[in-house]
Amino acid sequence: MGATRITAPAGVPFIDIEREFAAPRALVHRAYSDPELLKQWLGPRKYVMEIEVWEPRDGGRWRYIHRDADSAYGFHGVFHGPQTEERMLQTFEFEGAPGHVSLESVEFIDQGDRTLVRNHAVYQSIEARNAMVESGMEEGINDGFDRLDALMARLTTHEPAGAGAPR
């Protein structure tokens, strides 16, 4: 498993996240763009993910809910520009804090049979960025990326050559 690097530089409204995965870029991108794969890894494992809409294309909407027995947390946004194996761009809004929208880019950096995922999130203010950092996001990101590691291991072991291309 890779180590997640999360940085939130003082004085700027950014959060940068990097993690390397033992899978080709096409397969990692597919895990981000295919809703059936996405719900197997995104977010803390203590929640079940329900995807209402997931349209990874320019102008496409997305909305999902994380649920456990006692609570539900909704998130939504819009995809911007082409969503490619190299990069995805979207807005992100937690419905529990309406009006606090971030812009998130995800780069998929090809390293042969490995992929470096680099996420850059821009918040409307340093205070909004700090609230995200203090929300426990690190635990959720690490939990989700550990699940993505496991999913990539399952898919690279069980898929025939060439099956990692997006569908």
pLDDT at residue 159 tops 80: no
Structure confidence at residue 1 (pLDDT): 55
- 53, 62 contact by CB (below 8 A): yes
Q: What is the tens place of the pLDDT at every residue in 136-149? A: 889 999 999 999 99
- State both tokens at 66: 């994380």
In a domain, 9, yes or no: yes
- Residues 73-99: what's their mean pLDDT? 95
| % of the chain at pLDDT higher than 90 | 83
| Helix, strand or coil, per DSSP, at residue 109 | strand
pLDDT at residue 161 tops 90: no
Structure confidence at residue 85 (pLDDT): 97
Q: How far apart are the C-alpha atoms of 27 and 14, rounded to whole Å? A: 27
- Residues 72-91: what's their mean pLDDT? 97
Looking only at the bridges linking them, the beta strands covering 115-122 and 101-110 are antiparallel
Q: What is the tens place of the pLDDT at every residue in 17-34? A: 999 999 999 999 999 999
- Residues 37-41: what's their mean pLDDT? 97
In a domain, 123, yes or no: yes
* Cα-based distances in Å from 137 to 9, 100, 141, 163, 164: 16, 15, 6, 32, 29
Structure confidence at residue 68 (pLDDT): 94
CA nearest 81: which of 64, 58, 99, 63? Answer: 58
- State both tokens at 51: 């995807």
pLDDT at residue 166 tops 80: no
pLDDT at residue 165 tops 80: no
Structure confidence at residue 134 (pLDDT): 87
Query: Per mean pLDDT, which range of 54-63, 74-83, 137-146, 157-166 is the poorest?
Result: 157-166
Q: How many CA atoms within 13 Å lie on the side-chain side of 90?
A: 24
pLDDT at residue 117 tops 90: yes
The secondary structure of residue 34, as a DSSP letter, is: -
The average confidence (pLDDT) of the chain is: 92
CATH code where residue 135 lies: 3.30.530.20
- 144, 44 contact by CB (below 8 A): yes
Domains in the chain: how many in total? 1
**Beta pairing partners, 13:** none
In a domain, 41, yes or no: yes
- 58, 82 contact by CB (below 8 A): yes
Give the residue numbers spanning the domain of 30: 5-46+81-90+103-158
